Structure 1
Amino acid sequence: MRLALHINDYASFGEPRQMAGALSRVARSAEDAGFSRLSLTDHVWQISLIGEEYEPMLEAYTALGFLAGQTRTIELQTLVTAATYRAPGLLAKIVTTLDVLSEGRAWLGVGAGWNDEEAQGLGLPFAGQTERFARLEQTLQICLQMWSGSREPYVSEHYQLASTLNSPQAVSAPRPRVLVGGGGERTTLRIAAKYADAFNVFGGPDAGQKIVRLREHCERIGRDHTEIEKTAVLPVAVDEPGATDLLLEELRRLHDLGFTTVYCAVPAVASLAPLETLGAKVIPEITRW
């Protein structure tokens, strides 16, 4: 099993002048501690599950581009991009650029999106649920066509591209990997079964059921489910007595269900102490599983 670091809260990163240095230190410390990936939440306002909407939030791809120059080996992605927030051709170009400048470390993490308040607040595209899922699937088709080297047009219900020219192409071979995030069993997991290299769900009590449903979707389309990496996101705190042992129990539970990578959402991560604890006590243990 591998650990990834997920950053969804910038409140501990200090004032704006301090944030670049703090984010750089966190990324380098995560890389040195043995985290395999670094993901950023792709929101423009803070979400209510984490804090208040006015709390600091960095634009994800600008931040990932910065981190590409601060790190050497850790893989970089969002967890996850709302497909409607950026035109698909532009999104493919953004991820391609991140992949080129990180020398092959970029993923496309994408989902249907859900936060209508921030979208309405900043005037970002947002539609009803059925349309958002249709746009998610068409976004994936466009990205994969652009990464295939095709320059053919792409025409669908929601998107019309005269040419999917994409130069330069990505460094990752054969293309950047795709993670589809979200626990919807009927539609999200169907889309993941068809297009994804990995899927991500919350690591709660029903996480195992999501793997079962993914396998069922894969069986319907004749795809081997083992081609798709099973990942989960888990809130992690390691500063309380016994917290490390409890975390190892949770990770073992997820491992036994079939998950191979866990994205740890760590509070107050800018202090670096949680990363040091995870690097010293948790990562060496789970890499043996």
Structure 2
Amino acid sequence: MRFAFKTSPQNTTWSEMLAVWQAADDIEIFESGWNFDHFYPIFSDPTGPCLEGWVTLTALAQATKRLRFGTLVTGIHYRHPAVLANMAATLDIVSNGRLELGIGAGWNEEESGAYGMELGTAKQRSDRFEEGCEVLVSLLTKETTSFEGEYYQLTEARNEPKGVQRPHPPICIGGNGEKRTLRTTAKYAQHWNYLGASPEEFARKREVLHQHCAELGRDPKEITLSSHVRLGEDDDFAKVAADAAALGEQGLDLAIIYLPPPHRPAILEPLAEELAKLG
């Protein structure tokens, strides 16, 4: 099993996040770092501080040398996929090919409503997301893109220069929806992020993903399987390692350790030592 970490840019400060990422860049067991893409804090006081995800991610990419990085995940309705494609290609270039492109259908009603971003029904979100994935992949790989969909329309659209990674930065889709999200993952993604519950539920969702892969003629081994594993405020590193191991027994490839604020670089070494015991 491989390991990563996540720092949500909410209820924290830039200096705290930066210190964690720069420390983690020197700890080999962490292969990647992740943030989220929200405008309000989630699952906490929505009036609290929340730094913008892509600007923060770009700054963290420049402050590190080794870590791969991405958002878990960008709601497709937050940015037009043509804008997102340009952002992703540029960030892949300036980071020398370290970007993981994390995307999802969107879910946060509070911030979407406050900003006048139409979230839509579950079906509308899934339909829009599928269109957005097609547009993104086309713009990241083709010279021009023309597309006529219900949500997006493009006419000989360009996205130059392309990113460093070929055919494009790996796409990570986050979500557990069995009928639509996992099928879209099987069609477009190189990485699926499980939102997190029991290992048994992960195993069941994994099998659904594999069924979609079989129907689409896709080798499921081409898709990395990851999950959030939360570190509590009690810093129980042994529990985190045990939770990751239980998911690993069900086929998890990458455990992404979700670090709670306040973000403290001092916890990284003991966390890494505990994770290393899993081999």
TM-score for the superposition, normalised by structure 1: 0.91
**1:238 deviation in Å?**
7.3
> Which residue is equivalent to 2:24?
30
Q: 1:252-263, aligned counterparts within 5 Å?
A: 252-263=245-256
Stretches of structure 1 lacking an aligned partner (at least 5 in a row): 14-18
Residues 231, 237 of structure 2: 8 Å contact kept: no
> Which residue is equivalent to 2:193?
200
> Which residue is equivalent to 2:224?
229
Give the distance between the partners of 1:250 and 1:238, measured in 2 at CA.
16
Q: 1:235-254, aligned counterparts within 5 Å?
A: 235-237=230-232, 239-240=234-235, 243-254=236-247
**1:261 deviation in Å?**
0.5
**1:150 deviation in Å?**
2.8
Q: How many residues align?
A: 276
Q: 1:268 to 1:219 in 2, by over 3 A?
A: same
Q: State the SS of the aligned residue for 1:11.
A: coil
**1:9 deviation in Å?**
5.0
**1:244 deviation in Å?**
2.5
**1:33 deviation in Å?**
2.0
Q: 1:1-289, aligned counterparts within 5 Å?
A: 1-8=1-8, 10-13=10-13, 19=14, 21-34=15-28, 35-48=30-43, 51-205=44-198, 206-237=201-232, 239-240=234-235, 243-268=236-261, 270-282=263-275, 284-286=276-278, 288=279
Give the distance between the partners of 1:157 and 1:268, measured in 2 at CA.
40
Residues 230, 260 of structure 1: 8 Å contact kept: yes
Stretches of structure 2 lacking an aligned partner (at least 5 in a row): none
Q: State the SS of the aligned residue for 1:194.
A: helix
Give the distance between the partners of 2:114 and 2:248, measured in 1 at CA.
39
**1:5 deviation in Å?**
1.1
Among the aligned pairs, what percent are the same residue?
30
Q: State the SS of the aligned residue for 2:51.
A: coil
Q: 1:102 to 1:77 in 2, by over 3 A?
A: same
**1:174 deviation in Å?**
2.2
> Which residue is equivalent to 1:16?
none
2:24 partner letter: A
Residues 239, 274 of structure 1: 8 Å contact kept: no
Give the distance between the partners of 1:203 and 1:130, measured in 2 at CA.
22
Of 145-154 and 192-201, more deviation after overlay is shown by 145-154
Residues 67, 98 of structure 2: 8 Å contact kept: yes
Residues 234, 263 of structure 1: 8 Å contact kept: yes
Give the distance between the partners of 1:173 and 1:261, measured in 2 at CA.
22
Q: RMSD over aligned Cα, in angstroms?
A: 1.5
Q: State the SS of the aligned residue for 1:69.
A: helix
Residues 11, 262 of structure 2: 8 Å contact kept: no
**1:10 deviation in Å?**
3.1
Q: State the SS of the aligned residue for 1:130.
A: helix
Give the distance between the partners of 1:104 and 1:269, measured in 2 at CA.
30
1:139 partner letter: G
Of 76-85 and 243-252, more deviation after overlay is shown by 243-252
Q: 1:101 to 1:125 in 2, by over 3 A?
A: farther
Give the distance between the partners of 1:6 and 1:92, measured in 2 at CA.
23
Residues 183, 202 of structure 1: 8 Å contact kept: yes
